[in-house]
Amino acid sequence: MVKVIKNSFKIRKRGRKQSQSSGLPPGTMYFFEENSSKLVNVTHTIYDENNVEIIKTHKTPKIELESAKRPIHWVNVDGLTQKEILSDLGKTFKLHRLLLEDVLNTEHRPKIDFYENHLFFTLKALHFNTETYELDTEQVSFVLGSNFILSFQDRSENAFEKIYERFETGRLKSKHADYLMYSLLDFIVDSYFYVVENIEEAIDDLETDLLAGVEANYLTRIQSIRKVLMLLRKTVFPLRESIITLQKTESMLIAADTQKYFQDLLDHVIHVSESIDYQQNTNTSLKELYISMQGNKMNKTIHLLTLVSTVFIPLTFIVGVYGMNFNNMPELESENGYLIVWTVMILLAILLLLLFKRRKWL
């Protein structure tokens, strides 16, 4: 029999292990899944105030970086399987070997690193499937220079489609590369709210079921919520630190008026992290409530057992006595023996029940 558990979250596992690359010299590019024949989607966007050009390819785009602030180049790489593309980008944008190693490490915790002419930012995007209640995390890394952005995604779907649309209508074109990075980060953080609200709903459902006494797989649900919240915590809390570091460092790469936006981003991340705390507390309180309710139920069950036993065990003893086959039992021959025994038993039962009543046992 398949048991469908309401709102029970699942976490997708990749089976990738950081230790696979351990023992290698530092700065070695380790591919979890190197496959030079698998197509990698590369989107190269070149824009300034007036023009936007979007080139879709499967190879490293040819880029001539100018010293001028414009045009801005955005290279988005969907899929981390081809060594050549990464090396080429590394050479074009003069990336540190440790940076390239970090891009490939899709099990990395969110962090920010500052290099001479660029900065590196890595975080987790969350993909939540409302059908299967499966949560998937994806490593997304950014390299921000004064006039370029590189973005790397582990999965090959183009998650940034909506951002490309904004080039048409929004202020994106007129802003610098730092604003584009903010927009991309904001886009990812926005998706966290979605997950958090789904958890909130699951917790609400859980509480409603619990208080209504609906028979449901509480423990499994509580445990699944707990696990998802722990994963979210691991995803969001280091991100918070990273953004704070970004603000404090006063890098030349982030313009003063973009700082305002990063402050807003930080507000969102703090909001998410407080929601996670709040829901962890709620989940814990529901777990404790459930356990207390179980305790209550057991109390009542044992209470009933004790009541029934305490009343009937002595009575059964009495009827046992007069079931004995001794020759010489005067009560048995007595005319009213049977009646007297019944009277005694009924009185005894009433007595016990009164006793229980007085002790608030009934």
Q: Which residue stretch of 80-88, 132-140, 145-153, 189-197 sits at the interface with its own copies (rule: CB under 8 A)?
A: 189-197
Task: Quote the CA–CA distance of 93 and 101 in Å, as a whole number.
Answer: 15
Min dist. Cβ of residue 329 to its own copies (A) = 5
Q: Which is nearer to its own copies, 64 or 317 (CB)?
A: 317
Regarding 67 and contact with its own copies (CB under 8 A), the answer is no
Radius of gyration of the chain (CA): 34
Query: Which residues have CB under 8 Å from 349's CB, separation 6+?
Result: 311, 315
Q: Does residue 66 bind its own copies (CB under 8 A)?
A: no
Residue 313 lies near its own copies (rule: CB under 8 A):
yes
Q: Of the candidates 132, 208, 292, 343, which one interacts with its own copies according to CB under 8 A? A: 292
Residue 5 DSSP one-character state: P
Element (H, E) at 304: helix 256-321
Tell me how far apart the alpha carbons of residues 174 and 112 are, in angstroms, rounded to a whole number.
Answer: 26
Residue 297: other Cβ atoms inside 10 A? 11
Near its own copies by CB under 8 A: residue from 308, 344, 350, 351:
308
Contact set for its own copies, span 226-265 (CB under 8 A): 226-227, 230, 234, 238, 260-261, 263-264
**208 is a contact residue toward its own copies (CB under 8 A):** no
Per CB under 8 A, the list member of 305, 344, 346, 350 interacting with its own copies is: 305
Residues 6+ apart with CB under 8 A from 150: 74, 75, 76, 77, 89, 93, 142, 143
Fill in the per-residue mask, 15 to 44: x = in contact with its own copies (CB under 8 A), - = not in contact.
--xxx--xx-xx------------------
One of 297, 344, 347, 354 touching its own copies (CB under 8 A): 297
State which residue, 77 or 184, has the beta carbon closest to its own copies.
Answer: 184
Tokens 């048409």 belong to 168
Number of amino acids touching its own copies (CB under 8 A): 98
Looking up tokens 């604003």 gives 179
Any contact of residue 186 with its own copies (CB under 8 A)? yes
CA 2 to centroid of chain Cα atoms: 25
The answer to the question of residue 190 lying near its own copies (CB under 8 A) is yes
Cis peptide before 26 (omega within 30 of 0): no
Provide, rounded to whole angstroms, the least separation between the CB of residue 254 and its own copies.
15
